[in-house]
Structures are given as C-alpha cells and as structure tokens.
C-alpha cells in the first residue's frame, strides 16, 4: 500500500475513492472497504482512501474530542489488511478547514485525485462549516465524471456500528461486544522499551509497550494475547493505566506479563489483543498488597484461558457429533 502525506495538484491516474476518519476500522468501515474494492476491480483502478490527521474534532476542540481507537500507524496497517492500495493522509489545519465544498470537489476530488467512483456515508459532510453533503456530490457527479454511492449504517445485533459504540463497549469493559463491532479483538501496538523494571523487582517481569495513544480508549487489568514474538500468539496479563499504587504517572502505560515466558524482547514490535477485562485499576495500601493482587490477576488470567480451551474443545466435540 502506498501512503501519501499530501494531495497532488493533478492526478497521475484515476481511483475509486472513499473518504473518512476510519478510526478503529470496525465492521462498518470494513463493509465500505469491501464495496470500494469491488468497484475498483470493475473499473480497473486502485482502491483509495482519503483520511485526515489530526481528526477534525481533535483540531477544533482537542479537550472534547473522542479518544482514538487506533493510532495512525495502526489505522494504516488495518487499511492495508483490507485491500486498500492507496491512502492520502490529509493534514487537517486552518488552511484545509477553509476549503469550500466547491473547491473540495473540483480541486481535490476531480483534479487532484481523478476520482471515478466515490463512496461515502449517507450522513457525509465536507468543506468549510460542513457546507457540502451527499446531495451536492451527486449534483456535480456528471460534470466531474465520477459516480457517487452512499453507504447506509451497518447494524450488529440491533446496534448501529460506529467508533462511538466501540469506545462505549471498551469503557464498559465489554470486550465481547467490542470484538463483535470490530470483527476482531481490540488491540494496541507498540515497541517494547526499557522501563523502571519494577515488575521484575516485584517478581513479575513485564514488557513495557510504548503506545502512540495519549488517551487510550480503555484502562484496567486484562487477559491478553500478544503477537510479534513467534508464529503463535502468547498469553499474558496486561495492565493499562497510571500505576496509582507505585507512582501516579501523567500518561498511561501498557505493561504486559507474559505467562511462562522469560526472554529479552526489548525493541520488539508487539500487538496486544485485549480479550477479557479482569478488573479496574486500583490503588493499594502497600507493595505487598499489590503483589498479592498481581498473583490473583495472573491466576484469573490462566483460568480465563483454560475456560476458552474448554469451550473450544466442547464446540469441536459437538461439531464432530453433528
């Protein structure tokens, strides 16, 4: 996948295009990307995504903007996984915010990207003061030589799939619902960096995963699977928070204790899948109380994975009988 950090003045070749923030790349986004890929194949052009950095709501009201589900790197990796060949990351600033809807269509969509086919959500708005909408796009389609399609909301178990719904599930600790909306476990990726080695001093060594999330969408203690250290994921218990018992830190950190594992993995890039929430982060009276709770967390993590193995075996047994 090719990633562009700017918009060309004149396109070298036409594209099939969809536009959006794609935070989390949930199953609604995935449905859009599937339609995009189908149209691109029919037209013989590359499937292309236009997205924005930062999120417009982060630009206009950073204190009120929603937490990000994915860093830019994570989002790009997911877009590539779902077949996107080109991504234009538009720098959202005051200059871009002043773009009129007419200029957005003529200069960016028509001349800059040579869009032949455009897919947007049915509530899509664009241009200064959100002055452009789906109807305006369709009115200019003939003149600019592109086709416009609208994507209706995707529903899952009666719930509208959205980044907001995923965030709410994560805050509530409902990892099963979050996984249903995402089509995969919620994950955070990052490189293992050197920390204060407190976990090792306590008898529970941890991998300190450097996050690109200043405000993670979840916090607490979790049973996790970790990818990036071999062909199979490794199991572990993860703490995501500010470590109130030891030292309250301004920025949350992600620490993972891998079960039955003791190897130097500094520098490794890991993907941490959050499967089950064990509890909220708590402040304990002293280090000994914290150590006892960590032992409980590790035992509860093992119990969770044992239940998963038992469920898988039971389903297989039922399938074999059927």
What are 33-40's contacts with CB under 8 Å, separation 24+? 33/79, 33/82, 33/83, 33/84, 34/82, 35/119, 35/149, 35/151, 36/84, 36/119, 37/82, 37/83, 39/117, 39/119, 39/149, 40/15, 40/16, 40/85, 40/117
Same domain, 149 and 224: no
pLDDT, residue 26, reads: 98
pLDDT, residue 140, reads: 95
Examine the pLDDT at 22 and tell me if it is beyond 90: yes
Same domain, 190 and 116: no
Please give the average per-residue pLDDT across 297-314, as a whole number. 93
CATH number, domain with residue 44:
3.40.50.620
Same domain, 248 and 285: yes
Same domain, 146 and 215: no
Residue 211 lies in a domain: yes
Same domain, 144 and 42: yes
Same domain, 190 and 145: no
Q: Which domain holds residue 29?
A: 2-159
pLDDT digit string, tens, across residues 197-240: 666 767 788 999 999 877 899 999 999 999 999 999 999 999 99
Residue 178 lies in a domain: no
Residue 117 lies in a domain: yes
Of 77-81, 249-253, 279-283, the range with the lowest mean pLDDT is 249-253
Same domain, 110 and 61: yes
Examine the pLDDT at 96 and tell me if it is beyond 70: yes
Examine the pLDDT at 160 and tell me if it is beyond 70: yes
Examine the pLDDT at 153 and tell me if it is beyond 70: yes
pLDDT, residue 194, reads: 83
pLDDT digit string, tens, across residues 257-294: 999 998 889 999 999 999 999 999 998 888 899 999 99
Same domain, 39 and 132: yes
Same domain, 128 and 264: no
Number of domains the chain contains: 2
pLDDT, residue 319, reads: 75
Q: What is the mean pLDDT of the chain?
A: 92
Same domain, 193 and 147: no
Please give the average per-residue pLDDT across 92-115, as a whole number. 95
Same domain, 62 and 115: yes
The better pLDDT of the pair 317, 145 is held by 145
Residue 74 lies in a domain: yes
Please give the average per-residue pLDDT across 151-155, as a whole number. 94
């Amino acid at each position: 996948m090719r990633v562009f950090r700017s918009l060309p003045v004149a396109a070298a070749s036409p594209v099939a295009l969809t536009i959006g923030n794609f935070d989390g790349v949930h199953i609604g986004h995935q449905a859009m990307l599937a339609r995009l890929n189908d149209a691109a194949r029919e037209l013989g052009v590359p499937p292309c995504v236009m997205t924005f950095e930062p999120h417009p709501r982060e630009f206009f009201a950073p204190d009120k903007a929603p937490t990000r589900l994915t860093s830019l790197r994570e989002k790009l990796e997911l877009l590539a996984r779902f077949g996107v060949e080109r991504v234009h990351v538009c720098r959202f600033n005051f200059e871009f915010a002043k773009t009129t809807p007419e200029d957005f269509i003529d200069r960016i969509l028509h001349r800059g990207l040579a869009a032949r086919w455009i897919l947007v959500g049915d509530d899509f708005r664009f241009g200064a003061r959100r002055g452009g909408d789906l109807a305006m796009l369709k009115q200019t389609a003939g003149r600019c030589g592109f086709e416009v399609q609208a994507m209706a909301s995707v529903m899952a178990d009666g719930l509208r799939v959205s980044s907001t719904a995923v965030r709410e599930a994560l805050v509530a600790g409902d990892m099963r619902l979050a996984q249903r909306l995402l089509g995969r476990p919620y994950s955070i990726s990052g490189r293992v960096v050197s920390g204060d080695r407190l976990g090792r001093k306590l008898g529970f060594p941890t991998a300190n995963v450097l996050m690109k999330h200043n405000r993670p969408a979840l916090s607490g203690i979790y049973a996790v699977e970790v990818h990036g250290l071999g062909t199979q994921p490794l199991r572990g218990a993860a703490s995501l928070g500010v470590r109130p018992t030891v030292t309250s830190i301004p920025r949350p950190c992600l620490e993972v204790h891998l079960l039955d594992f003791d190897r130097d993995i500094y520098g490794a890039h890991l993907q941490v899948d959050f499967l089950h929430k064990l509890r909220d982060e708590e402040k304990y009276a002293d280090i000994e109380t914290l150590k006892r709770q960590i032992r409980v967390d590790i035992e509860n993590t093992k119990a969770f994975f044992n239940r998963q193995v038992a469920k898988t075996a039971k389903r297989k047994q039922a399938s074999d009988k059927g």
